[in-house]
Chains A and B, each alone.
Chain A
Amino acid sequence: MGRSNAFIGVDMVAQPNSSQQNGTTLSIIHQTLLILRKDILLELRNRAAIQAILLFSITTLIVVGFSAGGGANLPPDTLASLLWIILFFSAFSGLSHVFIREEESNTAIALRLTSEANAVLWGKLLFNTLLTFVIIIIIAPLYFIILNAPIVQPGKLVLSLFTGGIGLSVSATIIAVIIARSHGKPALFGAIGFPILLPMLFIAVDATRLTFQSYSNINVLNRDILGLASFDVLMIVTAGLLFPYVWESE
């Protein structure tokens, strides 16, 4: 086996120096990847999150498609709003699983006994971000086809969707852990998440709307995308600061 008992003691005793801090960082990266891999494996085996997401998103997409009659006459504002409504509720129907599952099945105890709090956060966050990207990759093209959306700036559209997607996944992850650790009801997830995400959703809808308009102001569009990226950074930093306290709370 890789380590002896004595080495465990010596390893913990020494004062932190730069090389050991590098070791800790490496350990957190290693643990993050292990947790991400484990969550992907669990999702591939039970498909709890992806089924919930796809069921909601495909159903909503079809209903919106039918009611909009192909969407040819829908203005860009409505097209962008409907897209983000679908993405928001699709993401929130599935992204909470990743933490609530750990708490409800009590596997969080084993995780707390074996890993650093930050590794758990980054592992879960990466998993939720991957899941959000999968949702975007499936839903967005279908939406554009069904509603016949006029995409004028495809590059900026992709950028706005993915920066917005990161904001969705980071917010969903930290809200999920708060609810899971407080033994709250999963139904609270959307209720708490919506006000936190409202500013991000406004910017995302505006950015997406501008990518549907040939006469749009490129500076406003760039400002929106920068706003989305800033929101992502803010949420990632907040999650990193908040998570260890929430994870260790009783």
Chain B
Amino acid sequence: MTPLKLQISFERVFKKYGDREVIRDICCDIQHGQVLVIAGPNGSGKSTFLRIAAGLLKPDSGNVHISVNNIRFDPQAYRTQLGYLSPDLTFYNELSAVENLLFFSSLRGIRLQHDDLASILEMVGLRGRGRDPVSAYSSGMVQRLKFAFAVLHHPPLLLLDEPTSYLDEPGFRMAERIVKSYKQNGIVMIATNDPREKEWGDLTLSLG
């Protein structure tokens, strides 16, 4: 099996909403094994930058390339392969955590076994609560489920927007473990203003 080598490049990326420029002329390269922290005040474009990286939003100008073993992909084409967590990501409240995870993993073509599910739920601290409907979850539990959703397919590129919102101290440590683990296998990008999360970064991009 060829070891995966990932790189993500932003070339003069611009994005504006109406007349307001949110992202202006961003150029950066992130290499395999690095954690990029995107910092900046509220409204500075941190989430927009991550959404562009995830292929959920197109820049007005400039290019974003995701290179896998030196072969380039458009973020939109790579979207189903990456891991993404953000405040506006939600799940089906009528379904349980397990049903949500099974549904989304099946869409990605992954057949999760009972042991896989158990270990993912264990990792994010939802063991024993997987059969509960998401509507019965607290904000912290939903945040843990978002981590499970983001990593259940072992993505080489992990994009995290305010990853430790609503999490308690054990939840924070869980997030830290995941970031450190995924850093070794690819690239992690984190949009945050939390000083403790900023310490996880190898590179910092300051917006605004």
Contact = CB atoms under 8 A, between A and B. Distances in A.
Interface of A: 1-10, 12-13, 27, 30-31, 34-35, 38, 41-42, 45-46, 105-107, 109-116, 119, 248, 250
A31 B103 CA distance: 10
Contact of B80 (A41, A105, A106, A115): A115
B138 interface: no
13 contacts: A3-B110, A9-B4, A9-B68, A12-B73, A34-B103, A38-B103, A42-B94, A105-B92, A106-B88, A106-B89, A110-B149, A115-B80, A116-B80
Given A8-B81, A114-B104, A45 B89 contact: no
Interface in B107-130: 107-113, 116
A12 B94 contact: no
B125 to A, nearest CB: 20
Contacts of B153: 1, 3, 8
Interface string B140-168: 00000000010001111000000000000
Contacts of A31: 107
B107 A114 contact: yes
A interface SS class: helix
A104 to B, nearest CB: 10
Contact of A12 (B56, B81, B90, B99): B81
A6 B77 contact: no
A41 B95 contact: yes
Nearest to B100: A110
B181 interface: no
Interface-central residue, A9, A13, A111, by most chain B CB under 10 Å: A9
B1 A4 contact: yes
B5 to A, nearest CB: 9
Interface-central residue, B56, B92, B155, by most chain A CB under 10 Å: B92
Contacts of B90: 105-107, 109-110
Contacts of A42: 92, 94-95
B49 interface: no
Given A6-B4, A248-B76, A12 B68 contact: yes
B interface SS class: loop
Contacts of A27: 109
Interface in B77-93: 77-82, 84, 86, 88-93
A207 to B, nearest CB: 38
Nearest to B71: A13
B91 A114 contact: no
Given A9-B4, A112-B79, A46 B94 contact: yes
B68 to A, nearest CB: 4
Interface-central residue, B69, B104, B112, by most chain A CB under 10 Å: B104
Nearest to A105: B90
Contacts of B86: 109
Contacts of B99: 41
Interface in B53-77: 54, 56-58, 68-69, 71, 73, 76-77
Given A12-B73, A105-B90, A107-B90, A113 B79 contact: yes
Contacts of A105: 90, 92-93
B3 A6 contact: yes
Contacts of A45: 94-95
A44 B61 CA distance: 45
A86 B128 CA distance: 48
A38 B84 contact: no
A6 B106 contact: no
A113 B80 contact: yes
B185 interface: yes
A138 to B, nearest CB: 23
Interface in B149-206: 149, 153-156, 185-186
